[in-house]
Structure 1
Amino acid sequence: MPELIFPKDFVFGTATAAYQIEGAYAEDGRGLSIWDEFSHRKGKTHKGDNGDVACDHYHRYPEDIALMGELGVNAYRMSLSWSRILPEGTGKINQAGINHYRREFDALLEAGITPYVTLFHWDLPLALHNKYGGFQNRQAAHDFAEYAEVAAKAFGDQVKHWITLNEPWEHCVMGHFMGEHAPGYHRPWTFMKVMHNLLLGHALGMERIRDVLPDATVGITTSHTPAHPFTDRDKDHEAAALANEFLNFVTLDPLYKGHYPEELSRRFRYFKPGVETGDMERINAPIDFIGVNNYQREFARHTYLVPFLNTWIVGGTQGAERDFVKDGVQHTSMGWEVYPEAIYEVLGWLRNDYDNPTTMITENGAAFEDEVIDGEVHDPKRMDFLEGYMGQVKRAMDHGSDITGYFVWTLIDNFEWAAGFAKRFGIIHVDHQTQERIIKGSGRWYADLIRRSQAQ
């Protein structure tokens, strides 16, 4: 295999999310988010873990930026806490929150690291949820647009690259369909409505950012997990096609084709999302880049036990407690199959079916069991994972995909949503009792890849 190397101008970064690392949940005027409320409900997270302190990044960001400098990354994808800036979700601005992020952006820029800022990474202000149910209500899209404008005005001199939403599918399905994430609803009939309101929020927010910052680059991050048939039966092939509409094309089709997937729309015809005149044209407006998150593939099989979809998606966490090998194939501690070709397949869709848009890999990484031995963390499984997946990214580039950057998920071991602190995705180890950081072997591997690529 030839040595893995990327173009000299390639963007190498790491990615995080505010609620997963910041902590300081009640400091400096921050309002509560739905994740503050959800993570404090009994039985909703592993061992009752929450993000009250998380990685204490709010106070330790200078240390974390110094570690990014040691890795040699030239970009950092981070999210803003909406309720830290607008404690009630709209209206009065919290200047202390603005000042905090301005200090962090200054520190990043001084270190030569370009910020890529995500506006919504699932932590909706609790006030908006209590007021009207969050993205179940169309009003959330308009309130998000207000927030986007506030952020653009506050940080436009420091931030040139914006991501409106992170993974609308996950917030929609995990939060409103399956109830495993905040706000914890089991309301499958709201799937299309919540999805539409999220995508409308993206569109309206992008308009506001561009009004304030005409030269900014604005995109959205969507998650993509290829679904393959569970068996070679025709019914399972049909199930996989529908699963791909549900998992993947429900975001790509409206963004790039101006409509929702046809078969999926037919199956959910009794639960239409409430599309108003002009909505789809706004959602279909050109974006500067698409952010792609990929970790694995899934399998789909036909079943009459699932109403409307008649499809069961086999995969996911599967209750895994640690990583394992099954049928000779490595799985992560999330229970996810290590299948690097999945990311190549996703990039092939974009190249062949969606006019090859400018793409950034905004999340890719793996959770494995890590041990600190003599002050070091050796994680060869994660190194193999990153080399395999990044190799497939480079393969897609060699075949014509317009890919400009890659952000490894994640910088530091964090609060992994419902899994709490039990799952470690970081390329930097964090002891959540002492907050000590240690760059893992995978972090050193990534730093070496960056160095070799930029030395050309």
Structure 2
Amino acid sequence: MRSCDEDMVFPAGFAWGAATAAYQIEGGWDADGKGPSIWDTFCHAKGKVFQDHTGDVACDSYRLWDEDLKCIQQLGLTHYRLSLSWSRLLPDGTTRHVNQKGVDYYNRVIDDLLASNVCPMVTLYHFDLPQALQDRGGWQWPEITKVFDSYAQFCFQTFGDRVKLWLTINEPYVCAKLGHEDGLHAPGHGDLGVSVYLVGHNMLRAHARAWHSYDTLFRPTQGGQLSLALFTDWAEPWDPSNPLDVAASERYMTFSLDWFAWPIFVSGDYPPEMKARVEANSRTQGLPFSRLPQFSEDEPSIKGTADFFAVNYYTSRKVRPGPTPPKSLGFEGDQQAVGEMDPSWPVCGISWLAVYPEGLRKLLKYIKDTFGNPSIYITENGLSQVGAVELDDSQRCSFFHATWMEVSKAICEDGVDLKGYFVWSLMDNFEWSDGFGVRFGLFHVDFSHPERPRTLYRSGTDYAQLIAKFKGRSGTEH
């Protein structure tokens, strides 16, 4: 009897990875000169996170990096995605004061990975803005793009001799919408239909500045690649024969993935329908201008500022038209598309995560067809457990195998230029507003134990076996 793995094919040099983020694993929130981030402030305010959990200690990776490295080696990863804590490196967010102990920590992490023949993929910003910069307006502050560029150049100069895969910003959609429209993430703002677009705009501008700086000042000697990690669901019409549902599903994608991918990979500007809808709704609300900002010709161009396409995918939605303004204001009123789960899709762990592996394959094909067949990395994909945790997580194993099969089909049958796949996450960690109540790890972490022991889940064993099978064929070239 053939195993399903025998039907999978992955290209030579395929990146087999797992991902983490600094605030979610490091702990040491005020250790060795680190400055506070907006997530420190958000969690310490109480009432914002499940059971008032914080990332003060988390997996204690700042102290226990050696244990993380053992996990990486045990899985046989070829790549490891991590993020840098901006406020650990630059406590006030600027290069006026460099925290050398933060630099030493990340130097050690990078050097240890390379010594283990693991290629680091480094994210500059994964939700944890220095509080000192938030106090000046955060991502709504006009100067934030220049400050981010200065931070990025500092990181390229400090670590770029060894880091060849960079991501500037993780999930600008989530930062903008959950942090500045819904108030569910730090900094916890709720300003319907205004801040969400300004934050997204400044993140695109900051990313573009950093890309141009890398391209001009560092790529000639360092030879790396740089992009940003975009989050999206896959959207399908509830009724494919209903033109209104079809149009709504297209809007859903326009206001999520295309919002950021279209300026970078297509036109240098926002999707035409997004521009038109926000402008029309803004005029209806009596505003003399669109709530969606415009790009200035005086700034570095947005188009072409990505060397590959990085996408984070977890779930899919069936979509129908949403209520129109004034019944629904803000971002959702502009988007006018409601995404819901198909009842036939199994729910994994948290309520929003319906498992639909076919959606990932369809999303990859959409990226290929819409954005010029770019090289793609799946920089996050995972499945969670909540409540009673099972080390023998057979359900998650089944979901992972189905996902890997769909990824292989995307490569072999759809011609997607997929370069790598990163599981979220290497280990259980602080899952933002869900705290430690949701577990995505390939390794279980005992948060009640002072040494935070890591124990491999069965799904982690399966992933290690998959990697071992294909790594031998694909090699480990970076």
User: Within 5 Å, which residues of 2 pair with 1:202-351?
Assistant: 202-210=207-215, 211-214=217-220, 215-231=223-239, 233-257=242-266, 258-269=268-279, 270-279=290-299, 282-302=301-321, 303-304=323-324, 305-307=327-329, 308-309=333-334, 311-315=336-340, 327-335=343-351, 336-351=353-368
Cα contact 2:264–2:302 (8 A) shared by 1: yes
Post-superposition offset of 1:278: 4.4
Contact 2:269–2:302, Cα closer than 8 Å, also in 1:
no
Assess if the C-alpha contact under 8 Å between 2:10 and 2:411 holds in 1: no
Cα distance between partner residues in 2 of 1:385 and 1:173? 28
CA displacement at 1:135 relative to structure 2: 1.0
Deviates more, 1:264-273 or 1:428-437: 264-273
Matched residue of 2:194: which SS? helix
Deviation at 1:286, TM superposition (A): 4.2
Match of 1:86, as an amino acid? L
Candidates 17, 28, 35, aligned match of 2:32: 28
Pair 328,400 (structure 1): closer, same or farther in 2 beyond 3 Å: closer
- Taking only the aligned residue pairs, the percentage that are identical comes to 36
Q: What displacement does 1:349 show?
A: 1.6
Give the gaps of 5 or more residues in structure 1.
317-325
Q: In 1, Cα distance between the equivalents of 2:29 and 2:232? A: 31
Specify which of 445, 454, 466 is matched with residue 449 of structure 1: 466
SS of equivalent to 1:165: strand
The answer to whether residue 109 in structure 2 is matched with residue 89 in structure 1 is no
Hey, what does 1:381 align to over in structure 2?
395
Per-residue deviation, 1:444: 0.4
* 2:283 paired residue number: none
**Structure 1 residue matching 2:306: 3-state secondary structure:** coil
The Cα offsets for residues 151-198 of structure 1, whole Å up to 9 and x where unpaired, read as: 111112221211111111000111011110001111122222211110
Q: Does the aligned pair in 1 maintain the 2:311–2:378 contact within 8 Å?
A: yes
Assess if the C-alpha contact under 8 Å between 2:227 and 2:308 holds in 1. Answer: yes
Distance 1:327 1:206 in 2: 42
Does residue 408 of structure 1 match 2:427?
A: no
Could you tell me how far 1:385 is from its partner in structure 2? 1.7
1:71 alignment partner in structure 2: 75
Q: d(CA) in 2 for partners of 1:331 and 1:58?
A: 33
The one-letter code of the counterpart of 1:329 is W
Deviation at 1:220, TM superposition (A): 1.2
Residues 395-450 of structure 1 deviation map (CA, whole Å, 9 limit, x = unaligned): 11112111111110000000000000000000100011111110110110000001
Instruction: Structure 2: give runs of 5+ residues left out of the alignment.
Output: 280-289, 474-478
C-alpha distance in structure 1 between counterparts of 2:87 and 2:205, whole Å: 20
Name the structure 2 match of 1:321: none
Which SS does the other structure have where 2:33 is aligned? coil
What SS does the corresponding residue of 2:334 show, helix, strand or coil? coil
The 8 Å contact of residues 221 and 292 in structure 1, kept in 2 or not, is answered as yes
> TM-score w.r.t. structure 1 length?
0.93
> Which AA in structure 1 matches 2:439?
R
- 1:8–1:396 Cα change, 3 Å: same
Q: How does 1:16-165 map to 2 (within 5 A)?
A: 16-90=20-94, 91-131=96-136, 133-165=137-169
Cα shift at 1:104: 1.2
Q: Are 1:422 and 2:437 counterparts?
A: yes
CA contact (8 A) 1:8 1:455 kept: no
Question: In the alignment, is the contact (CA less than 8 A) between 1:226 and 1:248 conserved in 2?
Answer: no
* Contact 1:300-1:311 within 8 A present in 2 as well: no
State how far apart, in whole Å, the 1-side matches of 2:347 and 2:258 are.
Answer: 26
> Aligned equivalents of 2:345 and 2:309: distance in 1?
30
TM superposition shift of 1:371: 5.2
Residue type at the aligned position of 2:356: Y
Structure 1: distance between partners of 2:335 and 2:368: 30
**Code of the aligned partner of 1:40:** H
TM (normalized to structure 2)?
Answer: 0.89
Q: Deviations over 1:55-101 (max 9, x none)?
A: 00111111111111011001100000001111111121111111111
CA RMSD of aligned residues (A): 1.7
The residue identity in structure 1 corresponding to 2:292 is K
Q: Give the secondary structure class of the aligned counterpart of 1:330.
A: coil
Q: Output the amino acid matched with 1:219.
A: S
Q: How many residues align?
A: 442
AA of the residue aligned to 1:114: C
Give how far 1:262 is off.
Answer: 1.2
Alpha-carbon deviation of 1:350?
1.8
